[in-house]
């Protein structure tokens, strides 16, 4: 383990070698402010996530915390896992800010900033909520409105008459959705990024249609005083004609030549996977149904264009190779164009070189030596001789927990005064095993639920202010109410998003170079 100052870390991030910058704080702390190039791997689930973000043990991996020792704990775990080049940022996030380096609120600053840069440099055209509503009210049917978010987000709330078509699917499926070939195409999301990237992605195809991003998405629609639709199920077509598929592949080949996208075969990917000194990420950007039916071994699913929307939530290592797969090619090519525009080394896997697909493999958790206890067992524990530690979400704890159970989270376990035996109450197994490990492996795990507690006769209490907000480091407070009717949060979120370009310094801005359309 090594220690570097903020200045040294900043310089390291400008190098050509592989480097991963990891924020190990929990989501509330991370959301209040973090460096631009950081990825979020909270200490509470460190071991489960780090391999996805930093798969190469030799990569220089920088850890930042709140100067509370959590980065040192994380470093020891990572070294025990085999990571060879762990670096801790001296002084944590405060030292970063004290060095006059920007800290970014919210999540996915690089991707959100990229959307703003795309609009600024490529001239993405937007339509306002008022303009769209006027077209609707006038009976104008010469447009289609496509929601570029995930189907789950779309179902939660969307704009009336829109159809779900995640960004990754737009280039492949838009033509099958047009009412007539000349219709305008309007892309919306909840805010700005996916509207802008989705609309600009279609512009890359050279369409004659007018293409718009809905300014400020569903939040802008709501702020304009219009009603949203909830529970919508309209979706993109799954069966495409051979003509559309053929045209998509031809367009993909045109874009490969135009934007100098490298296409590699599966043998090359296999060679890269075996290289222990260099990182290769492999992403399958098709629909979930396609992926589940069979995927290339080692490729991870990134649904609905989320890879571009939130790169920091899918990988952490800079200067790594990224390989994308889509047997129709066009989806992978569009993603590669945007990834290259964000400064990444992106490739497309030649679908004709694939010799077989695999099914999803189940992940099994090793429970060797772990003792479990059910609700009835908890009810029969002797009074005063057991410490109940509830590591479910702070929200679930507030709604209802076993009387005398203490709420905590993995980074805060050292703050608990343990008396007698330990029982960890958890909503899922993996996090519980990590907590148990930090407690020296002494204790039992209970995956029982409130209904089980009731049947066992346990006393369940609700606490509206316990834990207090100041301790809820597992909750993302940053504009969290923007999708549930809090218009102040919506305004603040849009202010944050449109202000990202002004926050970036020269180093950060230089990595975002959208390719000309």
361 pLDDT higher than 80: no
Residue 68 token pair: 């509370």
For position 150, what pLDDT does the model report? 95
Average pLDDT of 34-43? Answer: 97
Per-residue confidence band for 359, with pLDDT thresholds at 50, 70 and 90: confident
360 pLDDT more than 80: no
Q: How far is CA 64 from the centre of its chain?
A: 19
List residues bridging with 127 in a β-sheet.
Answer: 214
Residues 428, 391 contacting (CB under 8 angstroms): no
Q: How far apart are CA 300 and CA 302, in angstroms?
A: 6
CB neighbour list of residue 353: distance below 8 Å, 6 or more residues apart: 265, 266, 267
Question: How much of the chain exceeds pLDDT 70, in percent?
Answer: 99
Nearest alpha-carbon partner for 349 in 318, 317, 321, 327: 327
Q: For 253-305, what is each residue's pLDDT tens digit?
A: 999 999 999 999 999 999 999 999 999 999 999 999 999 999 999 999 998 77
Q: Which CATH number fits domain 248-353: 2.40.420.20, 3.40.50.720, 3.40.50.1580, 3.40.250.10?
A: 3.40.250.10
In 16-166, which residue ranges form alpha helices assigned H by DSSP? 27-32, 46-53, 70-81, 92-98, 109-122, 129-137, 151-156
Q: 173 in helix, strand or coil?
A: helix
pLDDT confidence of 482, banded at 50, 70, 90?
confident
- Residue 303 pLDDT: 82
pLDDT at 442 over 90: no
The topology under which CATH files domain 113-238 is Oxidized Rhodanese; domain 1 (3.40.250)
Domain 371-468 has CATH 3.30.1380.10: no
491-515 tens-digit pLDDT: 999 999 999 999 999 999 999 999 8
Residue ranges with strand state E in 174-309: 184-188, 211-214, 262-264, 280-284, 300-301
What's the pLDDT score for residue 134?
Answer: 98
Q: Summarize the confidence of residues 84-105 as an average pLDDT.
A: 98
Quick: pLDDT tens for 202-231: 999 999 999 999 999 999 999 999 999 999
- 517 pLDDT exceeds 60? no
- 13-27, 118-132, 357-371: which has the minimum mean pLDDT? 357-371
Percent of residues in the chain assigned helix, strand, coil, to nearest 5: 40, 15, 40
Give the model's pLDDT for residue 119: 96
Q: Region 312-329: what's the mean pLDDT? A: 97
May I ask the CATH class of domain 2-107? alpha beta
Q: Tokens 């973090």, residue?
A: 34
The pLDDT of residue 132 is 98
Q: Does pLDDT of 354 surpass 80? A: yes
Partners of 262 in beta bridges: 347
Section 310-324 average pLDDT: 97
Could you tell me how far CA 98 lies from the centroid of its own chain? 28
The pLDDT of residue 376? 97
Measured between its terminal Cα atoms, the distance across the chain in Å is 45
Query: For residues 316 and 314, what is the distance between their CA atoms, to the nearest angstrom?
Result: 7
Q: Rounded mean pLDDT of the chain? A: 95
Q: Name every residue whose Cβ is closer than 8 Å to that of residue 319 and which is 6 or more positions away in sequence.
A: 15, 16, 17, 18, 19, 345
pTM: 0.93
What digits encode the pLDDT tens for the residues 113-140? 999 999 999 999 999 999 999 999 999 9
Peptide bond between residue 467 and the one before it cis (omega within 30 degrees of 0): yes
Domain ranges of the chain: 2-107, 113-238, 248-353, 371-468
Q: Give the pLDDT confidence of 140-197 residue by residue, as tens digits.
A: 999 999 999 999 999 999 999 999 999 999 999 999 999 999 999 999 999 999 999 9
């Amino acid at each position: 383990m090594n220690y570097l100052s903020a200045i040294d870390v900043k310089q390291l991030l400008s190098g050509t070698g592989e480097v991963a910058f990891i924020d190990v704080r929990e989501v509330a702390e991370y959301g209040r402010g973090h460096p631009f190039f950081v990825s979020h791997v909270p200490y509470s689930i460190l071991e489960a996530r780090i391999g996805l973000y930093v798969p190469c043990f030799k990569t220089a991996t920088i850890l930042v915390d709140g100067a509370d020792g959590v980065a040192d704990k994380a470093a020891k775990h990572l070294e025990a896992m085999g990571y060879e080049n762990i670096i801790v940022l001296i002084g944590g996030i405060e030292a970063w800010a004290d060095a006059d380096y920007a800290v970014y609120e919210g999540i996915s600053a690089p991707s959100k900033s990229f959307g703003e840069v795309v609009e600024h440099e490529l001239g993405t055209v937007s339509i306002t909520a008022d303009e769209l509503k006027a077209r609707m009210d006038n009976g104008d049917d010469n447009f289609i409105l496509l929601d570029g978010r995930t189907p789950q987000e779309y179902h939660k709330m969307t704009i009336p008459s829109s159809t779900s078509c995640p960004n990754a699917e737009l280039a492949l499926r838009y033509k099958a959705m047009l009412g007539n070939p000349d219709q305008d195409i309007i892309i919306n999301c909840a805010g700005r990024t996916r509207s802008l990237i989705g609309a600009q992605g279609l512009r890359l195809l050279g369409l004659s249609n007018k293409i718009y991003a809905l300014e400020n998405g569903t939040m802008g629609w709501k702020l304009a005083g219009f009603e949203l639709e909830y529970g919508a199920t309209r979706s993109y077509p799954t069966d495409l004609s051979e003509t559309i598929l053929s045209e998509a592949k031809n367009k993909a080949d045109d874009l490969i030549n135009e934007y100098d996208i490298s296409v590699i075969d599966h043998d090359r990917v296999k060679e890269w996977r075996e290289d222990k000194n260099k990182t290769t990420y492999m992403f399958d950007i098709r629909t979930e149904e396609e992926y589940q039916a069979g995927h290339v071994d080692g490729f991870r699913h990134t649904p609905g264009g989320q890879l571009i929307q939130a790169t920091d939530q899918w990988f952490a290592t800079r200067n790594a190779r990224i390989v994308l797969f889509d047997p129709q090619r066009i989806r992978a090519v569009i993603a590669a164009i945007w990834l290259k525009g964000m400064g990444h080394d992106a490739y497309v896997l030649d679908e004709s070189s694939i010799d077989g697909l695999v099914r999803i493999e189940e992940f099994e958790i090793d429970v060797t030596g772990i003792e479990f206890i059910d609700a009835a067992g908890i009810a029969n524990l002797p009074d005063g001789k057991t410490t109940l530690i509830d590591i479910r979400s702070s929200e679930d704890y507030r709604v209802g927990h076993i009387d005398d159970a203490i709420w905590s989270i993995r980074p805060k376990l050292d703050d608990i005064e343990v008396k007698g035996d330990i029982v960890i109450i958890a909503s899922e197994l993996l996090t519980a095993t990590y907590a148990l490990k930090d407690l020296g492996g002494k204790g039992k795990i209970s995956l029982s639920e409130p209904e089980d507690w009731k049947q066992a006769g346990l006393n369940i209490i609700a606490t509206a202010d316990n834990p207090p907000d100041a301790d809820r480091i597992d909750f993302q407070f940053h504009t969290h109410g923007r999708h549930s009717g809090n218009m102040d949060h919506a305004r603040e979120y849009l202010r944050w998003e449109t202000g990202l370009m002004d926050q970036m310094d020269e180093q950060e801005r230089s990595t975002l170079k959208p390719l000309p359309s």
